[in-house]
Chains A and B, each alone.
Chain A
């Protein structure tokens, strides 16, 4: 066993004691350094010293994605800039991103989570790991990179895109592990087939580390069947760390949460009450070790369940169900978080179109198709094709700038999309489930 995996098997009493001790350090630290947390605690009449047991955590206020947006860029940052080592950003619910500054130790803890996932999947220093997640503000690329490098693997940082070159390098360098979104792997497989490349015959690929978007057992089976690799699930979110918060072992139907670093709770998203293990609700995380931007009771909006009972693998870390739904309207498209409200914010910047839209998602054989129908206004109508085309391009540029994706923009006639009367359906998601 890789020594990195030792904490996975920590006896439960020891684990609970460690979690409580870490919380008893984190809560006063957060109270001292983050004004929003302090204000909310004071409003609730709860003091850091009120945390005597793990169950007492339920007395403390939640943090939400909107808090990260409202406090952008550094309002929730607890450490001084001299201690910050890295920034990552993710999409917010409107035009503004969320920003997560981390200390060197925060990055190390996150990397530890990725390494433990990879070790659990059976990846060792003998593996050649291709990281096809995007590198940059997104945590996917650098997270997988540091994890694989930490294990001593040979890392090939291809980042996303340029699929034919990716396949060539995979073949020529004897890549054994690929890290990417499941939908990108399916795309890769289609391109490989066109090039006459058979993963089983022409490559040494054994493992796929797949995350950043929800996927199903059916997709896992399809991936394994077309490529002969083992498809592993890695879960995480920028707000808490990045990929590597949880992963699946060979036995569990779900993902072991590294709860010595990331303390999970399940709450009822309506009453906000903590639910016992075994019940489904919204996943909430507290970052036990993070000091750059600690999160106390962060509401992920991911719906899951903490399973009851021991896992055959012997790991004591609780198993969460694979996330299959959310308690808000966030969409995950090509691994990118997209809120319909962001699209609306983009359209508001283009006066030639109305802020009415319809997002249409569908699956082709390999990739998700992302289309947005947008109404032109009667006033912006022109007899000139190039002027109308320019309107479409302005909408596309505005969405690319804020969301980071390039959906197909379809201009439609004024008044042709449904109008908002209360809760209106703005998304048609026909992707394969």
Chain B
């Protein structure tokens, strides 16, 4: 399934991430998961929220540089080998993963993997096939 991820520029100074969280909390927007990419000088926080349109809007108004990107979500059983199975499909299709992060859902029966591929459509076809 393709979903919208929002990515926000993070300056390398304290209080940046909490500013983002506060802005979203005030508008009652829930963060499902996030990941943080950083270099020595700056960072990018990528997140899936329950309402990406409002999420983007709220953050842009709060002065953050924010962009929406299509990412692919895959649900796998939360057990050893759960991820390995879909990785085999992806390898077979020959798609490259640019980045990925994951979270467990509910009581731990399912895990959700978030991927950014070089070719999202091709990867999605491989996952469904």
- With beta carbons under 8 angstroms apart, the residue of A384, A410, A414 that contacts B98 is A384
Q: Are B42 and A383 in contact (CB under 8 A)?
A: no
The interface-forming segment of A7-15, A67-75, A374-382 is A374-382
Q: Are A383 and B60 in contact (CB under 8 A)?
A: no
CA distance A413 to B65 in the complex (A): 6
Q: In this assembly, does A336 line the interface, its C-beta being within 8 Å of a C-beta of chain B?
A: no
Q: In this assembly, does A389 line the interface, its C-beta being within 8 Å of a C-beta of chain B?
A: yes
Q: Are B37 and A414 in contact (CB under 8 A)?
A: no
CB 8 Å contact bits of B48-68 with A (1 = contact, 0 = none): 000000000000100111110
Q: Are A413 and B9 in contact (CB under 8 A)?
A: yes
| Secondary structure class of chain A's binding surface, majority of residues | mixed
CA distance A385 to B37 in the complex (A): 7
Q: In this assembly, does A311 line the interface, its C-beta being within 8 Å of a C-beta of chain B?
A: no
Residues on A with C-beta less than 8 A from B5 are 383
Q: Are A378 and B65 in contact (CB under 8 A)?
A: yes
Query: Restricting to A253-294, which residues have a CB under 8 Å from any CB of B?
Result: none
Q: Are B7 and A413 in contact (CB under 8 A)?
A: no
Q: Are B98 and A392 in contact (CB under 8 A)?
A: no
Residues on A with C-beta less than 8 A from B39 are 385, 389
Q: In this assembly, does A388 line the interface, its C-beta being within 8 Å of a C-beta of chain B?
A: yes
Q: In this assembly, does A411 line the interface, its C-beta being within 8 Å of a C-beta of chain B?
A: yes
Query: Restricting to A290-338, which residues have a CB under 8 Å from any CB of B?
Result: none
Q: Are B44 and A413 in contact (CB under 8 A)?
A: no
Give the interface size bracket for A toward B.
20 to 34
Q: Are A383 and B46 in contact (CB under 8 A)?
A: yes
CA distance A409 to B41 in the complex (A): 8
Q: In this assembly, does A415 line the interface, its C-beta being within 8 Å of a C-beta of chain B?
A: yes
Distance to closest chain A CB from B97 (angstroms): 13
Q: Are A378 and B60 in contact (CB under 8 A)?
A: yes
Q: In this assembly, does B11 line the interface, its C-beta being within 8 Å of a C-beta of chain A?
A: yes
Q: In this assembly, does A416 line the interface, its C-beta being within 8 Å of a C-beta of chain B?
A: yes
Count of chain B residues near A, Cβ 8 A: 21
Task: Give the residue name and chain of the B residue nearest to A409 (CB).
Answer: B41
Q: Are A413 and B116 in contact (CB under 8 A)?
A: no
Q: Are A388 and B42 in contact (CB under 8 A)?
A: yes
- With beta carbons under 8 angstroms apart, the residue of A381, A408, A409 that contacts B65 is A381
Q: Are B116 and A383 in contact (CB under 8 A)?
A: yes
Residues on B with C-beta less than 8 A from A413 are 9, 11, 63-65
CA distance A207 to B37 in the complex (A): 51
Q: In this assembly, does A412 line the interface, its C-beta being within 8 Å of a C-beta of chain B?
A: yes
Distance to closest chain B CB from A162 (angstroms): 25
Task: Give the residue name and chain of the A residue nearest to B43 (CB).
Answer: A385
Residues on A with C-beta less than 8 A from B116 are 383
Q: Are A411 and B7 in contact (CB under 8 A)?
A: no
Residues on A with C-beta less than 8 A from B28 are none
Residues on B with C-beta less than 8 A from A415 are 63
Distance to closest chain B CB from A165 (angstroms): 28
Q: In this assembly, does B69 line the interface, its C-beta being within 8 Å of a C-beta of chain A?
A: yes
Q: In this assembly, does B12 line the interface, its C-beta being within 8 Å of a C-beta of chain A?
A: yes
CA distance A389 to B41 in the complex (A): 9
The 9 closest A-B pairs by CB, nearest first: A383-B7, A381-B65, A381-B67, A383-B69, A411-B42, A385-B37, A378-B65, A414-B65, A412-B11
Question: Residues on A close to B: CB < 8 A?
Answer: 376-378, 380-385, 388-389, 392, 408-416
Question: Residues on B close to A: CB < 8 A?
Answer: 5, 7-9, 11-12, 37, 39, 41-42, 44, 46, 60, 63-67, 69, 98, 116
Please name 11 further chain A to chain B contacts, defined as beta carbons within 8 Å, in addition to the given A381-B8, A388-B44, sorted by A numbering. A377-B65, A378-B65, A381-B65, A382-B7, A383-B44, A383-B46, A385-B44, A392-B41, A410-B12, A413-B65, A414-B63
